[in-house]
């Protein structure tokens, strides 16, 4: 039996059973749940290694469930929904999901995405985080009035600490480590969401908008026909 346990949260018992059956074929352990409330109980008592969350759930919806899980821990989350609207996909990703799949979907495709997320989170990510932690221990990133403490995941603007989400922090860190460099939306998608992200590059625009609201003193500029940059007084980065 596979070492990983996948929680499948969907109020449609047929879809839930089908997904679990395909995961069992790949020797994953599964837990099937019909409501977000049951999922939260599982989260408190015996959290799984990956979540597959339907958005349209009775009572608490999948968005709120995703937000609550992500506020407490870093764990891979794949959202599934009958909604094919770009705004719905972006909202799911901004709340912390790692992937988004539209119904009807191929169970084999879902299994492939589950494997990819597990590979990314539990095999590749630890080495990346160790390297990042080693660099963070040596460096504090300062750009003008902005100070970033990567190892503590804190950002200070003057004396005020910014209240940033996981992805807002990662986006600001990219800008702070490369002041004056203009990044395309595609580059920012890869650096913040990962190179296996398949959504729209409008997710970058939405994240920039939120970051500007929280830190309106930061000179985050749109570069016409290209993307965005964080301007500092030192001129263009080589």
> DSSP string of 47-112?
--SEEEEES--SSS-HHHHHHHHHHH----EEEEES---HHHHHHHHHTT-SEEEESS--HHHHHH
pLDDT in tens, 32-65: 999 999 999 999 889 999 999 999 999 999 999 9
Q: What is the pLDDT of residue 41?
A: 92
Tell me the C-alpha to C-alpha distance, in Å, between residue 90 and each of 63, 86, 154, 199.
Answer: 11, 6, 24, 8
Q: What is the pLDDT of residue 111?
A: 94
Domain match, 116 and 12 both: yes
Q: What is the pLDDT of residue 128?
A: 60
Q: Do 166 and 176 meet the contact criterion of CB atoms below 8 Å apart?
A: no
Domain match, 15 and 118 both: yes
Domain enclosing residue 164, as ranges? 140-230
Domain match, 45 and 116 both: yes
Structure tokens at 7: 């929680």
pLDDT in tens, 105-123: 999 999 999 999 998 887 7
DSSP state for residue 237 in the 8-state scheme? -
Domain match, 104 and 214 both: no
What's the total number of domains in the chain?
A: 2
- Tell me which of 61, 94, 127 is where a domain ends: 127
Residue 180 has pLDDT above 70, yes or no: yes
In a domain, 132, yes or no: no
In a domain, 237, yes or no: no
Lowest mean pLDDT among 53-62, 64-73, 88-97: 88-97
Lowest mean pLDDT among 10-14, 30-34, 211-215: 211-215
Q: Report the CATH number that the domain containing residue 187 is assigned in CATH.
A: 1.10.10.10
Q: Count, in order, helices (H) and strands (E) of the chain.
A: 9, 12
In a domain, 25, yes or no: yes
How many Cα neighbours within 13 Å face the side chain of 219? 11
In a domain, 235, yes or no: no
Q: Do 125 and 119 meet the contact criterion of CB atoms below 8 Å apart?
A: no
Domain match, 219 and 194 both: yes
Domain match, 95 and 145 both: no
Average predicted confidence (pLDDT) for the chain = 85
Structure tokens at 6: 């996948």
In a domain, 238, yes or no: no
């Amino acid at each position: 039996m596979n070492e990983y346990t996948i929680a499948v949260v969907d109020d449609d018992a047929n879809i839930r059973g089908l997904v679990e059956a395909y995961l069992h074929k790949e020797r994953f352990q599964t837990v099937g749940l019909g409501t977000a409330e049951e999922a939260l109980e599982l989260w408190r008592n015996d959290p799984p290694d990956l979540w597959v969350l339907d958005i349209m759930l009775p009572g608490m919806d999948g968005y709120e469930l995703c937000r609550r899980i992500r506020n407490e821990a870093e764990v891979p989350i794949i959202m599934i929904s009958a909604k094919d609207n770009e705004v719905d996909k972006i909202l799911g990703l901004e709340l912390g999901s790692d992937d988004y799949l539209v119904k009807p979907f191929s169970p084999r495709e879902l299994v492939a995405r589950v494997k990819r997320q597990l590979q990314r989170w539990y095999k590749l990510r630890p080495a990346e985080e160790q390297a990042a932690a080693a660099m963070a221990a040596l460096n504090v990133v300062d750009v003008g009035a902005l100070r970033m403490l990567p190892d503590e995941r804190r950002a200070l603007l003057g004396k005020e600490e910014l209240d940033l989400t996981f992805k807002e922090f990662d986006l600001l860190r990219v800008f702070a480590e490369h002041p004056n460099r203009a990044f395309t939306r595609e580059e920012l998608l890869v650096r913040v969401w990962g190179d296996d992200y398949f959504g729209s590059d409008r997710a970058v625009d939405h994240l920039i908008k939120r970051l500007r609201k929280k830190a309106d003193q930061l000179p985050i500029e749109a570069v016409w026909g290209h993307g965005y940059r964080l301007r500092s007084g030192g001129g263009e980065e080589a």
